[in-house]
Amino acid sequence: MKNNIIDVITLGCSKNLVDSEMLMKQLAVNGYMVRHDPEEIEGRIAVVNTCGFIGDAKEESINMILELAELKDEGKLDRLYVMGCLSERYLNDLKKEIPQVDKYYGKFNWAELLDDLGKSIQPNYLNHRMLTTPAHYAYLKIAEGCNRHCAYCAIPIITGNYRSRPEPEILSEVKYLVDSGVKEFQVIAQDLTYYGMDTEHRLMLPQLVTRMAEIPGVEWIRLHYAYPTMFPYDLLPVMREHDNVCKYLDIALQHISDNMLTAMRRHITSDETYRLIERLRSEVPGIHLRTTLMVGFPGETEDDFARLKQFVRDVRFERMGAFAYSEEDGTYAAEHYEDNVPQEVKQARLDELMSIQQEISAEKAAEKVGKAYKVIIDRKEGEYYVGRTEYDSPEVDPEVLIKAGTRQLIIGDFYEVKVSDADDFDLYGEVTGHLNY
């Protein structure tokens, strides 16, 4: 029986998760019992979908491969396969260093795995997935690759040039997922806002989101990984006028100092960034902005960092993450700049920036107390039901905790919840109504 079990382990981002889900569906319709991210390996075959974006993620992927290779050496695993970004980028090195792996695949040729198992792609299930998320939400990948070539980023090296998925194919997938019970869509790509430029030579994200919003059963659409340069402003009336397009935008800004933006090759200025944010908030009242910022990029001075701190205080992002620069092989920064900010300085700056944001986040959360929001219930955990508002994406954003009392809530349903309390990260509330759709 174990010969028929395949354990799939996914590391890295939600874009990798979509690839795993597509592979898992094909394995399942070919007769395998598929387990995702198991606590213990049970099958005789394991597949690792790796991440190769930054140092910590690469280390995690390599450690997972080594752990499974050891199981194979001990006779507890028959076959081990590796796919994904790390494998795409370091294929030859991995073959030499970890020869226990039966075969390495890149990010885009994982379908060959089925051939190597003596199976084949089932065309009736193309773009179908075995969801690993709760049944009521899914990630929707609309493109692969990136044309931006920021100085610090290895993604274009791994994924190649931008490739938009055809709109009819995406809409067909949305309809299939809705029929499967999905109500909420996290729209993802390495760069959402470039969608359509490679195929139609125009920014087509506003049109795509509009057509998604018109599909019956699509209750929430949330947009991740926008890019500030060449922003498609036609998207803003779409967000404002469609109730099922969440007033939420994940847009990585990285820095605000012109010195750093130029060195990072971001093709945007500080003034343009401030104007972009002002326009987002004026045209979409109530929008919640999530961003990512970087500290310690080569050449970052105390003045650059002071400007970044002031930017965070000025803009008061609803959601913000930050990370310290780490040099990536093959990038423009690695080849042209000296990584000259000491690690302890990077960490101190990161801690200071996040401390500023923590205070802002707490104040933003406190502003919600006494207000009622539409909340989707994700799960029950201990004494609480755990849900999210339209301003909260799974895994990365705050949650709404509702004390589990005599009333039983339905996972995946929407409720009106009045917020009664808040801390730095989460909201606490009471159900005031069941919203039926």
Binding site per annotation, positions for [4Fe-4S] cluster: 13, 51, 85, 146, 150, 153
What is the DSSP pairing of strand 288-295 with strand 372-381?
Answer: unpaired
What is the 3 state secondary structure string of 405-424?
CCCCCCCCCEEEEEEEEECC
What is d(CA 214, CA 218) in angstroms, rounded to the nearest whole number?
8
What is the DSSP pairing of strand 319-324 with strand 137-141?
Answer: unpaired
What is the DSSP pairing of strand 103-104 with strand 163-164?
Answer: unpaired
What is d(CA 315, CA 318) in angstroms, rounded to the nearest whole number?
9
Counting other chains too, the contacts that 426-429 makes at CB distance below 8 Å and 24 or more residues apart are: 426/365, 426/398, 426/399, 426/400, 426/401, 427/365, 427/368, 427/369, 427/389, 427/398, 427/399, 427/400, 427/401, 428/400, 428/401, 428/402, 428/403, 429/373, 429/375, 429/400, 429/401, 429/402
What is the DSSP pairing of strand 414-422 with strand 427-435?
Answer: antiparallel
What is d(CA 25, CA 125) in angstroms, rounded to the nearest whole number?
8
Which residues sit in the known binding site? 13, 51, 85, 146, 150, 153
What is d(CA 123, CA 326) in angstroms, rounded to the nearest whole number?
41
Burial class (CB in 10 A: 0-12, 13-18, 19+), 255: buried
Indicate if the alpha-carbon torsion angle 190, 193, 194, 195 is positive or negative.
positive
